[in-house]
Amino acid sequence: MNELISMGGYAPFIWSAYGFFFIAIITLFITNFLRLKKREEVLNKINNNRD
């Protein structure tokens, strides 16, 4: 376990690179997912108003 964390002395580089990668892709996913939900809400509202 210690080996995994220390990464042969390269821990700051490896963990910051992997951290950036996952923060970036998760943010990309969440922002777009929320945008989609917002659009669906708007469309539902418009459809309800028409009925």
Partner 1 sequence: MNLRLTNKQINIIEKANPFLIVSTIVAFTFGLYFSLLQSPPDYIQGDSMRIMYIHVPSAWFALMAYTILAGSSVLWFITRNPIFSIIARSIAQIGMIFTLISLVTGSIWGKPTWGVWWVWDARLTSMLLLFFLYLAYIFLWQSITNKDLASKISAALAIVGFVNIPIIKFSVDWWNTLHQPATISKLSSPSIDISMMVPLFIMTLATFLFLVTVFFIRLRIEILDNKILRIREVK
| Footprint on this chain of partner 1 (rule: CB under 8 A) | 4, 7-10, 13-14, 16-18, 20-21, 24-25, 28-29, 32-33, 35-36, 39-40, 42-43, 46, 50
How far apart are alpha carbons 29 and 24 in whole angstroms?
9
14 burial type by CB count under 10 A (0-12 exposed, 13-18 middle, 19+ buried):
middle
- Least Å distance between CB 11 and partner 1? 8
Least distance CB 17 / partner 1 (angstroms): 4
**Two tokens, residue 28:** 């990309």
User: Given the complex with partner 1, which of 2 and 8 has the nearer CB atom?
Assistant: 8
